[in-house]
A and B are shown apart, each in its own frame.
Chain A
């Protein structure tokens, strides 16, 4: 576990807080949903049981990698499970129910707040997050926050970082954040410049795989076959074409920046650890966060965490870390799932299935097969499925409560 370079502030509050005194908001919501097929005896149960953990063991959480993990010793709990955590993004904002981006932003920024002792500034691109968090004259932000434009966020963040350096305030850290459109498309020029100069900014992309704020249009992060308002599910090859799109984490790595990571809102420990790791490093850092969008994907709000988990467990969204352009760690797929299981609950893939028999075999098996091939390629490329037993539940030791992915050393 990384050390938190903070004394006082949120960390101190967290450690002195009486565990279990208040029900942490968000710790038991959709995120904590447990699927019955989850294997028993997960790492949670084998974590260092401490008498000071203060809560009776509740086995309904066993096997869940989701929010809370209140079975753990307090020192291993997520930031989000702490009733006394600081809130970067307050309740009362206007995101849709089950919005993965709202969750992701809160998780990531709260973790960054803890890592920096609350000493941070966020620069935000135009997009859902910006719009739902700041309906004038209200604001959900508890941190200094600046919205300038859709495509210039990395450069604005660079400017803030330059100002803080010249003002002799290097302890104040800068986070830039944007949706996938603001990152991979319109903001890419500025982002590439920020990477190349190794400016001291953590840039977070909230990837919901389309331009949601303008009504679900295609971006260069929209996956093949997905229906968007500009890749409608009509014609011979409905949805977004195959063979297009940008792999931003890999492009970020190609800049040789100190740190690149991907994460999903389904694995909170992993996400928080990566944010904390990123905040230990100076220079350009990139976090690509997978955030399901119920509205844009035509999915149930309660499925946000499940879809994020399935994206990882199918291999469609590889979860890994890289330093200076070299992959250093990969989150293994625990139980590989066919892509069909991920596609079926999502309205944006409805055309792949038979409307008369939505639970039956795919109406477009060829398309599903091509998507499966993408997942298989990712699995091979990143080594997402390790040798049998290499990441079996329960193996993560006490020093590794987050189920830290093991090293592969594989350069992409």
Chain B
């Protein structure tokens, strides 16, 4: 059913169609609209039976999900940024226990300085937790990925995180084709847990494992993620059959035929990148795009194949590993090992900084001409940086730089240093 609808609302309604039995929530922008809407659906009985638990922290939200899932209920939660980091111990735990929790991550920057706007630092912080991480490009895909997420989670016995860009997607009102209950019921069977806390058949879950078996346990977790590389496209194609549109999968190439330069990215920025590439193609520049949907497991073989003909690769990232550089680009470079294809990392859109088509085009053209630095920070305000560097070379001190930078920008009034 076509609706003009906010991204959060589309996700909430779709999640409800997946019939989660326990929903646990703790509010944080830009996730709030999602859990508020699910809460209303539970209160009105539109989503039933379902227990909606308002908890005191994200750590508790993930922990309630763990308990619910271990007791055989389909469990859902959503968070962002500081919330994800606050629950990180339980995030790892859910994966280690093989519990098929589904979580929406409304991607937001991680402080300090505190910042509520979008980037991907939060998702990257739990990259190695053992969760499947799927990135949505549009609100349509965000909604659809949740239906696939429950299928994947429960068939693989692994938790799945659907990442959608905070504000850019969560708060955008646009056209979404919402699934119907009949469609979802036909696609998503009820949750049949493999192992459940039941007095009729008592099991001990969560035992300590020592050095004698820990590496094997971890290796098996890796194998399950490797299995997901097959399951994710299979579920996506089954989804396409059921719903008549394609969403999900491992990655999606766009105008890569004959492309010398291929841009790789995650999430909603792919829209701007595709527009830019369209314009460049119109001007005769051989540029293509590969959008990665499955960041974990990382589809290295599929990436290598999609980039086989490229002469250079540009990875646009809304996160970076401080002190080194790109995160996604490291994975892409690893996938390209031996090919000799140079990879440029473009760090862009941190803390909600708009990524404009003009800046991207400039950057892609430089890369196409072989002029790009290996690590580029898009639209960096050089004079701001220089002033702070100057200040700190004159007088070294500890503490944050944020306030100085804001003063230079004239954004806030504050006293002399």
Contacts and interface: CB of A to CB of B under 8 A. Distances in A.
A123 B207 contact: no
A167 B66 contact: no
Interface stretch (A99-107, A149-157, A288-296): A149-157
Contact of A163 (B21, B59, B201, B213): B21
B89 interface: yes
Contact of A162 (B64, B90, B205, B209): B64
Helix, strand, loop or mixed for chain A's interface? mixed
B49 interface: yes
Given A163-B73, A166-B51, A148 B22 contact: no
Given A167-B71, A189-B56, A197-B53, 5 more contacts: A146-B197, A149-B89, A149-B93, A155-B60, A163-B72
B202 interface: yes
A139 B53 CA distance: 31
B192 to A, nearest CB: 13
A136 B207 contact: yes
B51 A145 contact: no
Given A130-B208, A139-B204, A141-B204, A164 B71 contact: yes
A196 B54 CA distance: 11
Contacts, number: 163
Nearest to B56: A193
A142 interface: yes
Nearest to A150: B89
B69 A143 contact: no
B73 A166 contact: yes
A143 B67 CA distance: 16
Interface stretch (A30-38, A114-122, A377-385): A114-122
A407 B13 CA distance: 54
Interface in A95-138: 118-121, 123-124, 130-131, 134-137
A367 interface: no
A29 to B, nearest CB: 25
Contacts of B71: 121, 159-160, 163-164, 167
Could you say which of B59, B60, B205 has the most chain A C-beta atoms within 10 Å of its C-beta?
B60
Interface string B98-120: 00000000000000000000000
A147 interface: yes
B24 A159 contact: yes
B51 A165 contact: yes
12 contacts: A118-B199, A130-B206, A144-B203, A146-B205, A147-B206, A152-B59, A159-B22, A159-B71, A160-B197, A168-B49, A189-B57, A190-B60
A118 B199 CA distance: 7
A142 B203 CA distance: 8
A144 B198 contact: yes
B63 A145 contact: no
A229 interface: no
B163 interface: no
B204 A158 contact: no
Nearest to A193: B56
Interface in B38-73: 49-51, 53-57, 59-73
A159 B199 contact: no
Q: How large is the interface on A (under 10, 10 to 19, 20 to 34, 35 or more residues)?
A: 35 or more
B208 A131 contact: yes
Nearest to B210: A136
A147 to B, nearest CB: 3
Contacts of B213: 136
Which 9 residue pairs spanning A and B have beta carbons closest together?
A159-B67, A147-B206, A155-B63, A193-B56, A163-B71, A163-B73, A152-B63, A139-B204, A159-B64
Interface of A: 118-121, 123-124, 130-131, 134-137, 139, 141-149, 151-152, 155-168, 172, 189-190, 192-193, 196-197
A146 B67 contact: yes
Nearest to B54: A197
Nearest to A113: B199
A121 B66 CA distance: 14
B57 A193 contact: yes
Given A152-B63, A162-B64, A163-B71, A137 B207 contact: yes
B75 interface: yes
Contacts of B49: 166, 168
A146 B64 contact: no
A163 B67 contact: yes
B175 to A, nearest CB: 34
Contacts of A161: 67
A148 B90 contact: yes
A165 B73 CA distance: 10
Contacts of A166: 21-22, 49-51, 73
Nearest to A190: B60
B97 interface: yes
A134 to B, nearest CB: 4
Residue among A137, A142, A148, A193 having the largest count of chain B Cβ atoms under 10 Å:
A148
Which of A152, A164, A165 has the most chain B CB within a 10 Å cutoff?
A152
Most buried by A among B57, B71, B72, B203: B71
B65 A167 contact: no
A147 B55 contact: no
A167 B53 CA distance: 15
A172 B61 CA distance: 22
A193 B60 contact: yes
A160 B67 contact: yes
Given A139-B207, A166-B22, A197-B53, A159 B63 contact: yes
Contacts of A160: 67-68, 70-71, 197
A147 B207 contact: yes
A200 to B, nearest CB: 11
A155 B61 CA distance: 8
Given A162-B22, A166-B50, A145 B60 contact: no
